[in-house]
Amino acid sequence: MFYLIVPSRPEAHIFTVTCRISDPDKQGQIVSLPCWIPGSYMIREFAKNIIQLRAKADDRELWVSRLDKSSWKIEPFSGEIELIYDVYAWDLSVRSAHLDTDHAYFNGTSVFLKVHGKEDEACLVDLQRPKGVKYRDWKVATSMPRQDAQRYGFGLYRADNYDDLIDHPVEMAEFTPHCFDMHGIAHSMVFTGKQSADLERICRDLKPICEEHVALFGELPDSDPYLFMTMVVGDGYGGLEHKASTSLICSRDDLPVPGKQELSDGYLGFLGLCSHEYFHRWNVKRIKPAVFSPYDLSREAYTRQLWAFEGITSYYDDLSLVRSGTISAQRYLDLVAKTITRVMRGSGRLKQSVADSSFDAWTKFYRQDENAPNAIVSYYTKGSLIALALDLSLRLLTHGAKSLDDLMRRLWWDYGKALQGVAEGEIELLVSEIAGQDMSDFFTRFLYGTEDLPLAELFESVGVKMILRPAESSKDNGGSNSKKSITELLKRADWGARVSDSQGEVRVVTVFEHGAAQQAGLSAGDVLVAIDGLKVTPSGLDSFFSRAYVGQSIEVHAFRRDELRVFQVTLQSPPLDTCDLLLQEGGDDTVVARRNAWLTSVRPSG
Ligand code: ZN
């Protein structure tokens, strides 16, 4: 298989792709584009961005007919045929493709047609530079192996088969690569977009975190070089995992600047994101649900196991920050406290199980509406708390002999390395085996059921005190170790809604179930005008609530669409939905030893 791709009209966001098929199906070659991209569980119908697909042979146009939203059939022909098509690329995310005069980015799922019947054939890919002096300094970043190209150069690349072809996203732009070495394998970092970050520091900081993952699994998954590709934007956050690379998007202000050594919350978030995607090298790229082995990208692939692939990964992404010595134990606990707060703030957790959240990811988690906090739970956040609870439970039950690390090694050896998909329910059985006792009750209650995890008592077993209290302000997301007493915080009146400040408008974004705002009839989307006759501003709202009292009745003027409405809201006492975790100094030796075993590096030298 041969593909040629060129950012032919960057100003119009158009890639032009040529796909050459030397021996097409004589009954008429069928080609298609995936409906979704592995790692992002939503039907995206990438074929919608294909413009004008033409087929040619011997300088003659062949007839092309549509079969469905993602597939085409070419007129029967014996002999080489060429498909030529444009792809519109204007989605600035890690999941599809984006092209302008500053850079070109694409995932294979957005641009490379699958040639049916030839999915297993090796592919050659010619990556071409756009025409014009403006682009003469562009380079290429991709984990796709080079066939005939300089390092970071345009030219010929290769992939083993179609699945491999679509697992190497490509970035073309001006950039200076930075590298670090791990166990003799090159790890490169490429940042594109406007930035002036301390890139060498990022490499230095990231290496011990990645080493923690290697030490946990006992080895690198393979000897291929690895690439972190980051698009730097004004405001963005996200990542997508691949076998030999990851695509990331981050906010400019989150990156560290030269000459400063502080570890800001934003930078810690970026390191956590890199850590997350690197952990996926094992967990989901190689250890994967049976239903993903192989992927059927033409329709939804349902699994109840995303808690393990995203939740466990989310647990270890932050745990490796403390294990590697990047942050202190207390700062790690503050991160966990924020996750607990996020889970506690949605009553959806009492209605949807994490297993169902995984199953319904396609229509619910990935397509959240304003009612999501009242209706669903996240398999990332509650999934990571299930992983945490399992880790602490295993350590308790086996007197420190076993932990979640043992589960991950077992999954790596018996499934990841053995190329064996993990069947539904199999992880639960492995946990019971490692615990030396039946753990099905745990999964029935917390994974398949909607009970809150017994975190307070588990934290006690490692000398950590868990506190659930009301928020201090609308900006308090937990993990802030409030000095105020719960009695004092309970006096702060609450109205059960969240607002956003966009273009000077204060807009209601979430109305919590059974909260005062909902009872009064306010809805998401309403634009607040005045409270008790005074204009509403975002900062004014917070100070209003800090002075208001429980039981007070307020008059709220708000626009719903273009209609002015008046609501009488009776303020309530605030919910205990904000978490602090406090490290208890001292304590008995068993507790301290258990905590150290949990938070200390698993690297041989650590
Ligand atoms: Zn993930």
pLDDT-derived band at 587, boundaries 50, 70, 90: confident
Can you tell me the mean pLDDT for 59-66? 95
pLDDT of residue 504: 81
Our measurement of the distance from residue 410's CA atom to the centroid of its chain's CA atoms, rounded to an integer in Å, reads 24
* Residue 508 CA, ligand 1 centroid: distance in Å: 29
* Residue 544 CA, ligand 1 centroid: distance in Å: 39
* Residue 314 CA, ligand 1 centroid: distance in Å: 7
**CA atoms 77, 46, 230, 166: torsion sign:** negative
pLDDT-derived band at 247, boundaries 50, 70, 90: very high
* Residue 434 CA, ligand 1 centroid: distance in Å: 25
Question: 187-221: buried (b, 16+ CB within 10 Å) or exposed (e) per residue?
Answer: bbbbbbbebebbbebbbebbebbbbbbbbbbeebb
Tens of pLDDT along 464-484? 999 999 999 999 999 999 999
468: CB partners within 8 A, 6+ apart: 344, 576, 577, 578, 579
Contact 541, 499 (CB under 8 A): yes
* Residue 358 CA, ligand 1 centroid: distance in Å: 13
Contact 520, 557 (CB under 8 A): no
* Residue 272 CA, ligand 1 centroid: distance in Å: 11
Can you tell me the mean pLDDT for 322-330? 98
In the CATH scheme, what architecture does the domain 1-174 have? Sandwich (2.60)
* Residue 497 CA, ligand 1 centroid: distance in Å: 29
pLDDT-derived band at 124, boundaries 50, 70, 90: very high
**DSSP-derived secondary structure letter, 367:** G
* Residue 301 CA, ligand 1 centroid: distance in Å: 16
Q: Tell me the two tokens of residue 141.
A: 């970043």
Query: Closest Cα partner for 519 from 598, 464, 572?
Result: 572
Contact 255, 195 (CB under 8 A): yes
Can you tell me the mean pLDDT for 536-564? 93
pTM of the model: 0.97
Can you tell me the mean pLDDT for 244-265? 97
CATH superfamily of 493-570: PDZ domain (2.30.42.10)
Where helices occur in 360-489 by DSSP H, the ranges are 372-375, 381-397, 404-411, 426-435, 440-446, 455-460, 486-489
* Per-chain mean pLDDT for the chain: 96
pLDDT-derived band at 539, boundaries 50, 70, 90: confident
Q: Tell me the two tokens of residue 515.
A: 């909260």
**Residues within 5 A (CB) of ion ligand 1:** 310
The residues with which 551 forms a beta bridge, in sequence order, are none
pLDDT of residue 373: 95
Contact 404, 391 (CB under 8 A): yes
Rounded-to-integer distance, Cα 417 and Cα 414, Å: 7
- Helix (H) / strand (E) element for 578: namely strand 578-583
Taking CA 537 as the corner, what is the angle to CA 533 and CA 542, rounded to the nearest 5 degrees? 95
* Res 606 pLDDT > 70: no
* Res 140 pLDDT > 80: yes
Strand, helix or coil for residue 304: coil
pLDDT of residue 92: 96
* Residue 280 CA, ligand 1 centroid: distance in Å: 7
* Residue 310 CA, ligand 1 centroid: distance in Å: 5
CA torsion 599-604-605-606 (nearest 10°) is 0
Tens of pLDDT along 310-319? 999 999 999 9
Can you tell me the mean pLDDT for 431-458? 98
Min mean pLDDT across 381-385, 415-419, 540-544 is at 540-544
Q: Which residue type, as a one-letter code, is found at position 339?
A: T
Tens of pLDDT along 145-198? 999 999 999 999 999 999 999 999 999 999 999 999 999 999 999 999 999 999
Rounded-to-integer distance, Cα 511 and Cα 499, Å: 9
Tokens 């207390």 correspond to 330
Can you tell me the mean pLDDT for 359-387? 96
> What is the CB-side half-sphere exposure of residue 17 using CA atoms within 13 A?
26
pLDDT of residue 502: 79
* Residue 418 CA, ligand 1 centroid: distance in Å: 22
* Res 308 pLDDT > 60: yes
* Residue 383 CA, ligand 1 centroid: distance in Å: 11
- Domain limits, CATH 2.60.40.3650, in the chain: 1-174
pLDDT of residue 282: 98
* Residue 325 CA, ligand 1 centroid: distance in Å: 23
75 burial via Cβ count (<10 Å: 0-12, 13-18, 19+): middle
Rounded-to-integer distance, Cα 90 and Cα 106, Å: 10
pLDDT-derived band at 59, boundaries 50, 70, 90: confident
pLDDT of residue 387: 98
pLDDT of residue 423: 98
* Residue 380 CA, ligand 1 centroid: distance in Å: 8
Strand, helix or coil for residue 518: helix
Strand, helix or coil for residue 63: coil
First-residue to last-residue Cα distance in the chain: 47
* Res 295 pLDDT > 70: yes
* Residue 313 CA, ligand 1 centroid: distance in Å: 6
Taking CA 71 as the corner, what is the angle to CA 120 and CA 41, rounded to the nearest 5 degrees? 75
